[in-house]
Structure 1
Amino acid sequence: MSVRKWDVAWALLDPAVGHEQAGRRPILVFCNDVIASPIGLVTVLPLTAWRKGRRVYPTEVLLPSGTGGLPAASLVLAHQVRTISARRLSAAMGSLGDTTRRAQVATALRLWLDLGGD
């Protein structure tokens, strides 16, 4: 399956250890298409369902229902970033086209990875 940066797709994240996201779940692709594609790896940010009233942390971004083909409001978990085999991807859902949300995701990931420029 071929994906590009900002695509939303289903991925199988098992096996997982500790607090890692697990199972079949939606992910957001966040990697350089030119480099990742030939080596069969893809860097992803797992998503999880958002429940009304749940706090959104600085390393998370809320995506409304319908965004990127998501059936329900979901949180992008930048603190769960990982690189996986492209063979773990099962089905495309859509793409995150909203530039404001894209910027929020990039900011959350920079915060988690401490890429503040110092």
Structure 2
Amino acid sequence: MIVRRGDIFYADLSPVIGSEQGGLRPVLIIQNDVGNKYSPTVIAAAITSRMGKTKLPTHIDINIEDDPEQGLAKDSVVLLEQVRTLDKRRLREKVGRLSENLMPAVDKALLVSLGLAPRHLLLGEEPGRAVAASTLALPKEEEK
């Protein structure tokens, strides 16, 4: 099975404990392609179609009309606070692929989720107020 970063697969996430996303559900592969090729595991983020969930800076909206290649039946949200390492045997069929246009927002949401984003990127106009990950700006190479 060929797995690439940005692919969407159905995966069996059970068993779960507490608030973990579970069951057979779509996941976004977020691991790099070298790891995807050589490792028996992948790193993935759960996807939900429950659009009423609390909007967090770690959530990326997928609109099925704007991104038809992703293959999902409903508008959905990638939950980048629900990241898991999965054995590839948990992956079922490939659903589709997330648009390259959304991958920078995924990267920013991962920085937020893992606490790697500079503090000033996490704050909105009001001190202490978080902003959506899709509005964060990554520093340019020369600024790092």
Whether these two folds match at TM > 0.5 is yes
Tell me what 2:9 maps to.
9
CA distance in 1, matches of 2:53, 2:38: 39
- Offset at residue 87 of structure 1 (A): 0.6
- Please show how residues 70-89 of structure 1 align to structure 2 within 5 Å: 70-89=72-91
> SS in structure 2 opposite 1:44?
strand
CA radius of gyration, larger in: 2
Q: Which amino acid aligns with 1:61?
A: I
- On the 8 A contact 2:35/2:42 being kept in 1, the answer is no
RMSD: 1.7
Q: Alignment length, in residue pairs?
A: 116
Quick one: structure 1 residues 38 and 75, their matched pair in 2 at CA, closer, same or farther if it must change by over 3 Å?
A: same
Tell me what 2:39 maps to.
39
- On the 8 A contact 1:50/1:75 being kept in 2, the answer is yes
Tell me what 1:64 maps to.
63
> SS in structure 2 opposite 1:20?
coil
- On the 8 A contact 1:11/1:26 being kept in 2, the answer is yes
CA distance in 1, matches of 2:5, 2:48: 19
- Offset at residue 76 of structure 1 (A): 0.2
Q: Which amino acid aligns with 1:91?
A: E
Tell me what 1:49 maps to.
49
CA distance in 2, matches of 1:75, 1:44: 14
CA distance in 2, matches of 1:85, 1:10: 13
Q: Which amino acid aligns with 2:113?
A: W
> SS in structure 2 opposite 1:8?
strand
- Offset at residue 55 of structure 1 (A): 4.2
CA distance in 2, matches of 1:90, 1:6: 16
- Structure 2 gaps, min length 5: 120-144
- Offset at residue 117 of structure 1 (A): 5.1
Could you list the runs of 4 or more consecutive aligned residues of structure 1 that deviate by over 4 angstroms after TM superposition?
Answer: none
CA distance in 2, matches of 1:33, 1:54: 30
Q: Which amino acid aligns with 1:88?
A: R
